[in-house]
Amino acid sequence: MTPSPSDTSTTVVAQGTFDILHPGHVHYLSDAASMGTELHVIIARRENVTHKEPPVLSNEQRRDMVAALEVVDEARIGHPEDIFVPIRDIEPDVIALGYDQHHEEDSIAEALDERGIDCEVRRASGREPNHDDELLSTGDIIDRVCDQRC
């Protein structure tokens, strides 16, 4: 018997640092959730973030904040050494990259293929600020806090 479309599920994985949640994060995760029926989010460990300033908030706090979002089915902290371990555990159909994440789709797809992980890699859409005062970057939020409070 062939499953009906309502019987099939599509698991999506999104990943990121998610330091100081902002509307850009919410947009990314909402867009990722729309790519499937179940959204898993992998939170980068503070000690593994090397492409930018490390997160201000703890791994656990960032995970808990992301897990509280309605579109997220599960949030977990990434593996200490191998970013592909949780992906192998989740067995996603789609990996949704943020529109401005430093990862290249082709490189991720190749690394997945080398590990025998069969899933599609997509890039989420970007989002423009809704008004002049809206910040969509953790770095910009930190800069504003420092300008106004430090």
Contact 88, 75 (CB under 8 A): no
Tokens of 127: 């989002």
CA nearest neighbour of 29 among 19, 14, 12: 14
Residue 144 DSSP label: H
Residue 147 annotated as part of some ligand binding site: no
Provide the CB-side half-sphere exposure for 144 (13 A, CA). 10
- In angstroms, the CA 144 to CA 100 distance is 21
Residue 86 annotated as part of some ligand binding site: no
Residue 23 annotated as part of some ligand binding site: yes
Residue with tokens 């430093």, as numbered in its chain: 102
Residue 103 annotated as part of some ligand binding site: no
Residue 80 annotated as part of some ligand binding site: no
Sheet containing 38-43: which strands, arranged edge to edge?
74-77, 38-43, 11-16, 94-97, 120-123
Q: Annotated binding residues for ATP, as ranges?
A: 17-18, 22-25, 100
Q: Annotated binding residues, as ranges?
A: 17-18, 22-25, 100
